[in-house]
Amino acid sequence: MSATVTRRNPIRSLEGWAVATLREAGAIVDCDAHGWMRERGDPHAVARALRIARDDPPRGVSPGDAIAAIEQILGAIGDSCPECSGRGEPEEAPGFK
């Protein structure tokens, strides 16, 4: 019986890795209407992303730098899409372009 191995696409920057990790953990999502990233407000998902950063950082990156990258991305995005909330439309999903 053969096993299928799923390989992740290579990440070109630490910021890209942090965004991918936050998405994988379920801590951020994209606004369906506008594409902005948005924090979901799920502390367990954030904890999962931080645990990944600590236990499995990208090759050549220290766990401290990986954690800092996760925290930097979280600090740069909000919990609502600026375009949805700016027009009084219902918030459909997360944001940060």
Look up the CATH number of the domain holding residue 25.
1.10.10.1920
- Domain span holding position 41: 14-86
Q: How confident is the model at residue 18 (pLDDT cuts 50, 70, 90)?
A: very high
pLDDT at 9: 57
Q: How confident is the model at residue 97 (pLDDT cuts 50, 70, 90)?
A: very low
What tens digit of pLDDT does each residue of 36-90 get? 888 888 999 999 999 999 999 999 999 999 999 999 999 998 878 778 876 544 4
Name the pTM for this structure: 0.73
Q: Give me the number of domains the chain comprises.
A: 1
Quick check: is 91 in a domain? no
DSSP string, 27-55: SEEE-TTT--EEE---HHHHHHHHHHHHH
